[in-house]
Structure 1
């Protein structure tokens, strides 16, 4: 009798088991600092464009806190509602940090599936934001009707979405163990570089210094690229499409990332 191989359930069992096992594998964080440097670049890319268009930040919440404080005295007078944009960004970043960190801790922060889904979700939020802008539902330039010039507060929607996903990026960076690359703030990084007693050591010796300097360069480069793209014909949409594309590539990259060696008990 010839077995019915086509309908044999045992054929799919090992494959499903293998896929499930691979999806739940913990990843080796070696070289994952390169992904964190990419996140620094994306912070500079998006924040430079957002500040240029909306006068607020999406990831760097220190600046937003200052803008929020200025709003208590109705400053700057040319942007009476600027404090509200900063408040929305801070609130959604804070909320995103709580949700991303809680979910990733529960699922396993270094699991392949967790990182893939996290980056894909961040990508989807960026795509929704840029789609709203490209559909002319949201002001895309500082000369358009905006929150500072009219009763519509629609630009708070993409600000909130983009701030929320920025928190996801920082959560991933922390989960991977590279606290010296915070992805969204550089003040402490500048201090750590300047105060490092091993600042002049060889590249192979002081790896944390290398990562800090790489974070500064990556964020600055992103800001420069974001500024030029904002001035181009593509405007802010080109910035956000680039961010979405790079995040989606990173998400796919986790699918092929090397798994961590099995722990020995």
Structure 2
């Protein structure tokens, strides 16, 4: 005599639920592996120029070195061979740490990007989350009173402690140019603008109505300048240098989350 049909029914929902859950997980993984569409991604890169200006202006004001623009740091490093500038005996070391950290960050971000796929949704998200974490660690040290907040001599802090946030912030700064290059917008000056000034001036189509690369270059320079201005005023505010780095962390966090909902590249 056969068993009643209702005896087998309790097991069915479990199988269906497990299958649905696996399907959802697979769908999420597949979405993270998608390549993002580069259309309008140049806007993100221009925003990163603003962040560069924001952070570099604050770092130079506080520690007399840059985090992203390594040309200036290289010059300061050279001056250090002659014990200059006289009022800052550690400026050469700060610049050296910034250069070393930036180069190391460039190596890490680019190698990991090539391994995972530089323009995949998950890769871009992870890259920006790492940058946010490094900024948060650095600004937390500042707010904890462990690191000096200005270039004025402070006997409560050893000047070499400044190397910690400089290293962390310079490392994460390389993530910006890595993302810009990976997305194919080499003309946007997310780090250095000297060559961009030349590119703008030497462009034979500089006065053309339709010139996308010129527009991106100019927008990047303006964004970096505005970032430096905003950074300067925030440094003068009650929040001080910490407020600039919190703003930078917030912007990069939003960009990172934005990649999760960015349109995928059309096949």
| TM-score normalised over the length of structure 2 | 0.94
Q: Which residue of 2 aligns with 1:191?
A: 198
Report how many aligned residue pairs link the two structures. Answer: 258
Secondary structure of the 1:35 match is helix
Q: Is 1:39–2:48 an aligned residue pair?
A: yes
Question: Would you tell me which structure has more helix in proportion to its own residues?
Answer: 2
**Unaligned 5+ runs, structure 2:** 1-5
Q: Which has the larger radius of gyration?
A: 2
Aligned counterparts of 1:96 and 1:122: Cα–Cα separation in 2: 10
Q: Which residue of 2 aligns with 1:256?
A: 261
Aligned counterparts of 1:235 and 1:226: Cα–Cα separation in 2: 9
Q: Which residue of 1 aligns with 2:188?
A: 181
Q: Is 1:68–2:77 an aligned residue pair?
A: yes
CA deviation string 1:80-107 (max 9, x = no partner): 1110000000000000001100000110
Q: In 1, are the aligned partners of 2:68 and 2:173 still within 8 Å (CA)?
A: yes
Superposition deviation, residue 222 in structure 1: 0.1
CA deviation string 1:111-164 (max 9, x = no partner): 000000000000000000000000001001233527xx9755111000000000
Aligned 1:74-89 pairs, distance under 5 A: 74-89=83-98
Secondary structure of the 1:166 match is helix
* Closer, same or farther: CA 245–151 of 1 in aligned 2, 3 Å: closer
Q: Which residue of 1 aligns with 2:58?
A: 49
Q: Which residue of 1 aligns with 2:36?
A: 27
Aligned counterparts of 2:122 and 2:157: Cα–Cα separation in 1: 44
| TM-score normalised over the length of structure 1 | 0.94
Q: In 2, are the aligned partners of 1:174 and 1:182 still within 8 Å (CA)?
A: no
Q: 2:239 aligns with which of 234, 239, 249?
A: 234
Aligned counterparts of 1:242 and 1:152: Cα–Cα separation in 2: 25
**Unaligned 5+ runs, structure 1:** none
Q: 1:169 aligns with which of 163, 168, 176?
A: 176
Which structure 1 residue ranges, 4+ long, deviate > 4 Å from structure 2? 149-152
